[in-house]
């Protein structure tokens, strides 16, 4: 009985190892590709072009990249851009490294590269929308929406009054 249990455990472990091997290999391969692509620091203009191309389908992410880093992945000296207190935020989308780095690596993304930062930003956006970047996304609250509607109504009335004034002026009054 014990021998059968041990054999089953070994077989199970081998199956898990074989099944997981392509996933780990794929993640390592993706990390290697991202690192190879970003061995030299691209200019902010080329990073901006890359962001605009990558997020053409999600324009708000382009604005978030502008807000977070002004489209920079690297400093002028070529180091990875780090922001926040103690340099804890990294790259174009300023991910908090202590929170996001391990998750990104598990998915095969290196936050220190342009491609890795972009890919993880897309992943995070698909999971949470713009929530991780609340400081860069204007919020519309019901009160703000109501105030906007009030302003629109006032502007319509003002336009109507100006049109009446113009008619009176044209009539010679």
d(CA 46, CA 38): 12
What's the whole-model pTM score? 0.59
d(CA 72, CA 92): 5
Predicted confidence pLDDT, tens digits, the chain (173 residues): 555 554 444 444 444 444 444 444 444 444 444 444 445 688 888 999 999 999 999 999 999 999 999 999 999 999 999 998 889 999 999 999 999 999 999 999 999 999 999 999 999 999 999 999 988 886 544 445 566 677 888 888 888 888 988 898 899 88
SS3 helix, strand, coil % of the chain, rounded to 5? Answer: 70, 5, 25
Burial 107-116 (b: 16+ CB within 10 A, else e): ebbbbbbbbb
């Amino acid at each position: 009985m014990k021998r059968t249990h041990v054999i089953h455990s070994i077989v199970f472990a081998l199956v898990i190892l074989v099944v997981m091997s392509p996933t780990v290999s794929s993640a390592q391969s993706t990390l290697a590709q991202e690192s190879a692509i970003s061995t030299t620091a691209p200019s902010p203009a080329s990073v901006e072009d890359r962001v605009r191309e990558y997020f053409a389908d999600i324009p708000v992410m382009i604005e978030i990249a502008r807000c977070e880093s002004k489209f920079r992945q690297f400093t002028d000296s070529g180091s990875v851009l780090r922001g926040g207190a103690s340099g804890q935020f990294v790259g174009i989308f300023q991910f908090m490294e202590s929170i996001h780095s391990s998750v990104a690596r598990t998915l095969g993304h290196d936050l220190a590269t342009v491609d890795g930062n972009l890919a993880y930003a897309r992943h995070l956006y698909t999971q949470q929308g713009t929530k991780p970047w609340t400081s860069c996304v204007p919020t519309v609250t019901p009160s703000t929406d109501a105030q906007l509607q009030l302003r629109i109504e006032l502007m319509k009335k003002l336009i109507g009054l100006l049109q009446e004034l113009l008619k009176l002026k044209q009539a010679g009054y």
